[in-house]
Amino acid sequence: LAPALRRNEIAQFALRSPEIITALREAIATTEPRRATYLDHVPVDRWMELMITPVPVPTSFGGADKCMLMTFHDQTPLRRVEEMRADFVANASHELRTPLAALSGFIDTLQGQAKDDPKARERFLGIMHNQATRMARLIDDLLSLSRVELSAHVRPDTLVDLLPIIRQVADGLEPLARERQVEVEIHLPDSPVMIAGDREELLRLFENLIENALKYGASGGRVIVSLTSGAATDGTQEIRIMVRDFGPGIAPEHLPRLTERFYRVDVGDSRSQGGTGLGLSLVKHILNRHRGRLLIESVPRQGATFSACFPQAKAPAQI
């Protein structure tokens, strides 16, 4: 905190923050506790809280020295959580306000000048339907994210087979694949692949991964969904489900932030595709609850691969 602080030297020479010096002087002058908060920029930005408490220290001559006990608390994690919460509320409000404003505007138009125009009415009602669907999907994603976060500390203990879940998601997205003219290839083993998991959450996870590949990698014309098993970085066995597209890929600077809430590589494209900006954040939280991990690999113009990795279920003990 103060590398320049030396014994028997004036404290203010080393404690350069004006907030610290002011609080220290007030505590000395009044002999009362003082509190101060300040931002420390070195070596990295940290929010600190300082508590100064006057403490009488007996001397060998029967008197007492007035010493100042300075206690520093690193508030950075709390500040970051507060900033994340504020950003989340602001982003969620903005994402909801945009379609709501569109709905309100078109309702006013339909009640006014377009009231007797059948063509305009049909076009506006179509737009309103899309905006209402977008709002409903955003609310659904927010609720799903909230439910997963509430149960993040409780690991699922029910054994489920991944294969029918993946096939169900792929079948459900077949109309979207036809619409985007994308061929979906499924490469799965014949025997069941069991993990400890929550079936509904896993359905949501694979739906997000495959749907993203169909929407944002559609220009590649092909999506491959495959399942393999192998050793993780710590040597334990894991199941890896890979969803690969052959679209435009993702620039390297975006990869570390893809799982942040409301983060988008291309905001306009994401919204036009009906994206909420919460899909990959939801995937990450579901994997965290299942004690798994998400791997993202991409090279621009060569597509992207999203891999959901799960710990392999232990075989039941033989009796």
5 within domain boundaries: no
The per-residue pLDDT for 245 is 93
Residue 140: which CATH number?
Answer: 1.10.287.130
The per-residue pLDDT for 319 is 44
6 within domain boundaries: no
The per-residue pLDDT for 270 is 61
Instruction: Tell me which H or E stretch contains 305.
Output: strand 304-311
Residue pair 216/269 in contact by the 8 Å Cβ criterion:
yes
Predicted confidence (pLDDT) per residue in 73-111, tens digit: 998 888 887 777 777 777 777 778 878 888 888 888 888
Q: Find all residues with CB under 8 Å of 180, minimum gap 6, and list them.
A: 214, 215, 218
82 within domain boundaries: no
109 within domain boundaries: yes
Q: What are 88's two structure tokens?
A: 């989340």
The per-residue pLDDT for 318 is 46
Q: Are residues 183 and 144 in the same domain?
A: no
80 within domain boundaries: no
DSSP H stretches of helix in 13-75: 18-30
205 within domain boundaries: yes
Q: Are residues 194 and 121 in the same domain?
A: no
- What is the bridge-based pairing of β-strands 183-187 and 222-231? parallel
What does the radius of gyration of the chain's CA atoms come to, in whole angstroms? 28
Residue pair 59/65 in contact by the 8 Å Cβ criterion:
yes
Task: Pick the last residue of a domain from 101, 127, 150.
Answer: 150
The per-residue pLDDT for 286 is 93
265 within domain boundaries: yes
Q: Are residues 135 and 193 in the same domain?
A: no
For the chain, the domain total comes to: 3
Q: What are 20's two structure tokens?
A: 């610290």
Q: Are residues 319 and 175 in the same domain?
A: yes
Q: Are residues 101 and 234 in the same domain?
A: no
Q: Are residues 138 and 163 in the same domain?
A: no
Q: Are residues 136 and 160 in the same domain?
A: no
Q: How far apart are CA 237 and CA 315, in angstroms?
A: 12
Q: Are residues 131 and 269 in the same domain?
A: no
Q: How far apart are CA 21 and CA 37, in angstroms?
A: 12
- Domain containing 141: what range? 88-150
Q: Are residues 261 and 172 in the same domain?
A: yes
Q: Are residues 179 and 137 in the same domain?
A: no
Q: Are residues 182 and 302 in the same domain?
A: yes
The per-residue pLDDT for 231 is 80
Angle at 35 between CA 2 and CA 58, to 5 degrees: 75
Task: Pick the last residue of a domain from 150, 180, 199.
Answer: 150
Task: Pick the last residue of a domain from 100, 118, 150.
Answer: 150
Q: What are 225's two structure tokens?
A: 């969904």
Q: What are 206's two structure tokens?
A: 């694979």
1 within domain boundaries: no
Stretches in the chain below the pLDDT threshold 70 = 267-275, 314-319
Q: Are residues 174 and 210 in the same domain?
A: yes
